[in-house]
Amino acid sequence: MKARRRVVTASGAAVPAKRRPTVRRIKPAIVPVTRRDGPTGGQLTGHAAGATSVRATGPAEGPSPAAAPIHEVDLGVDLGRGLVLRNPVLVASGTFGYGIEYGDVVDVQRLGAICCKGTTLRARSGNPTPRVTETPGGMLNSIGLQNPGVDAVVEKYASTWAGWQVPVIVNVAGESIADYVEVVRRLEGVPGIAGIELNISCPNVGKGGLQFAIDAEAAGAVTAAVRRATDLPLLVKLSPNVADVRPIARAIEDAGADALTAINTLSGIAVGPTRERPLLGNVFGGLSGPAIKPVALKVVYEVAQTVDIPIVGIGGVTELADVLDFLAVGAVAVQVGTAIFADPTLPVRLIDELGAECRRRGLDSHRALIGTALPKRATATSARGAEYRP
């Protein structure tokens, strides 16, 4: 239910607003205009979705509804290679299943995009339990990339995705470059798959278990190999578990990625109740949720000054202020992850709130909000990466 509009007087007391009997607002102020720029048919052929305009009428107290100015807000986002999202709010891999699971709760078609669970060449049953635990301001998980394998993902979900207007980006994981390339080959040309997000926070068997994500050379090599294997839009997901993310981001851009997503979880552990061993079955887990937002903002801030490709910010988004913060440090869009477990309706609500915020500021597009907190002049590159001085 909407709160009654209230007016704050000069004395600070809140009183109910006076009603103007000639103006009856039946429709909500924010009306999503679907497919204004997009295809009129049901399916987006995996690559393009028209930009969403959030259509917002003018001030509620205007002279008459017919004469009220119409203020369109364009929330569209171009992630490159034809992947144009209708709005900048995506759902993060591992927190929204394959999208289908949430169909009864959320209008998934309204989302900017869905990043599905990490997909590997063969099925994986995941790590031993316990796999998740709550932490202050977040959670720790060690799911272990449980998934049915790429062929089963294509067979089970792709035909449904092909009928959706929301683009589905398949999150891909592997333990060798050959793994990644083979998964991507099997996704190439499949209707319903709009793009690839590479999860490179995986142990690289070729480098003795060193993660692809923490080594610029390995990150560049896996990106380049996947780039050669597919024409699909390619997003690569950065890990925060590095001293300096910028050379890694640069190597990924040079290798042909269309966009970066940042960040994946932070490595952590929890201790078991008897204190005889760590709590998670796999010992190590990935920290996510509001606790990691400052780290994610830092990564986006640094990377936005390093690369020219678009960056999608992820980490602890729970409200509109978080979205605005990520945009301010240079992200063109955000992903919502852990917060979905508490409220699956949050991402769609954020789309409406962002549209309303743009309208409140008199903006035609959220693009004016991007990069406002970045240095006005390029700062000198640091050899140390993190500019943290205690």
Ligand X SMILES: Cc1cc2nc3c(=O)[nH]c(=O)nc-3n(C[C@H](O)[C@H](O)[C@H](O)COP(=O)(O)O)c2cc1C
* Closest CB 216 distance from ligand X, rounded Å: 19
Site string for ligand X, 196-225 (x = CB under 6 A): ---x--------------------------
Which one of residues 141, 165, 230, 241 is an interface residue with ligand X (CB under 6 A)? 141
Cα→Cα distances 141→155, 187, 212, Å: 27, 27, 20
Single out the segment in contact with ligand X by CB under 6 A; choices: 37-45, 64-72, 93-101, 247-255: 93-101
**Segment contacting ligand X (CB under 6 A): 6-14, 54-62, 68-76, 285-293?**
285-293
- In the complex with ligand X, the residue whose CB is nearer, 117 or 227, is 117
Of 235-254, binders to ligand X (CB under 6 A) are 237
Q: According to DSSP H, which parts of the chain are helical?
A: 150-153, 159-162, 177-187, 216-229, 246-254, 293-304, 320-328, 339-342, 346-360
Site string for ligand X, 160-199 (x = CB under 6 A): -----------x---------------------------x
**Dihedral of alpha carbons 301, 195, 289, 145, sign:** negative
**Candidates 177-185, 204-212, 336-344, 375-383; binding stretch for ligand X (CB under 6 A):** 336-344
Question: Of 54, 56, 114, 145, which lies in the binding site for ligand X, with binding defined by CB under 6 A?
Answer: 145
Considering only residues 56, 111, 222, 314, which one is a binding residue for ligand X as defined by CB under 6 A?
A: 314
Contact 94, 171 (CB under 8 A): yes
- Rounded Cα distance between 223 and 78, Å, is 20
Q: For the chain, how big is the Rg over CA atoms in Å?
A: 22
- Selected binder of ligand X within 337, 344, 347, 355 (CB under 6 A): 337
| 316 near ligand X (CB under 6 A) | yes
With beta carbons less than 8 A apart as the criterion, state whether 263 and 315 touch: yes
CB 86 within 8 A of CB 113: no
* Contacting residue, 289, 310, 313, 344, with ligand X by CB under 6 A: 289
Whether residue 235 contacts residue 257, with contact meaning beta carbons closer than 8 Å, is answered with yes
Among 265, 279, 346, 354, binds ligand X (CB under 6 A): 265
Is 317 one of the binding residues for ligand X (CB under 6 A)? yes
Q: Does 116 participate in catalysis according to the annotation? A: no
Q: Which of 115, 116, 202, 358 is catalytic?
A: 202
Q: Interface with ligand X includes 298 (CB under 6 A)?
A: no
- ∠ CA 318-319-323, nearest 5°, is 100
Count the residues in the chain.
390
- Least distance (Å) from ligand X to the CB of residue 324? 15
351 in the Ramachandran plot: left (φ > 0), alpha (ψ -120 to 50) or beta? alpha
> Structure tokens of 193?
């798959």
∠ Cα 31 36 41 (to 5°): 115
Residues labelled catalytic = 202
The residues of the shown chain that bind ligand X, judged by CB under 6 A, are 92-95, 117-118, 141, 143, 145, 171, 199, 237, 264-265, 288-289, 292, 314-317, 336-338
